[in-house]
Structure 1
Amino acid sequence: MTGFGKIFIVIGVVFVIIGLLWNFIGKLPGDISFKKGNVTFYFPIVTSIVVSIILSLIFYFIGKIK
């Protein structure tokens, strides 16, 4: 398997893990949500920060292994 193949497998596994965690975590405190009439606006700012930190750590450790 080439280097790109391994990278894509790791990225796929990371996305699956994030998807599973997203179902269990849901909305975190600090996420912005407005509802007015039939319109709902949801901006998951805290969730985005948490996912970014987790991905940064994962890719940092993957880089250390290489």
Structure 2
Amino acid sequence: MQKVILVTGLLIMIAGLLWPWLSRLPLGRLPGDLVFGSGNTRIHIPLTTMLLVSVLVSLLLWLWRR
């Protein structure tokens, strides 16, 4: 369990350091991501982004287990 927490912390730290470049990726603005807005309220549902991230994480975990 300690390794999982350590690796998760390192990944979050790396993502934070790389955020200026990661924010330029079109994740969250892909076709299929839903945005509803009215007045001052905006609801963002990133369906396509969630599916893409899920597939990538599943592929990485599958490769790691082999």
- Gapped regions of structure 1 (runs ≥ 5): none
Structure 2 residue 41 is matched with structure 1 residue 42: no
Q: Which residue of 1 aligns with 2:63?
A: 61
| C-alpha separation in 2, matches of 1:25 and 1:58 | 21
Q: Which residue of 2 aligns with 1:25?
A: 26
What is the SS of the residue equivalent to 1:23? coil
Superposition RMSD in Å: 2.7
Structure with higher helix content? 1
TM-score (norm 2): 0.67
TM-score (norm 1): 0.67
What is the SS of the residue equivalent to 2:60? helix
**Deviation, structure 1 residue 23:** 3.3
Q: Which residue of 2 aligns with 1:4?
A: 3
Give the count of matched residue pairs: 56
What is the SS of the residue equivalent to 1:61? helix
- Gapped regions of structure 2 (runs ≥ 5): none
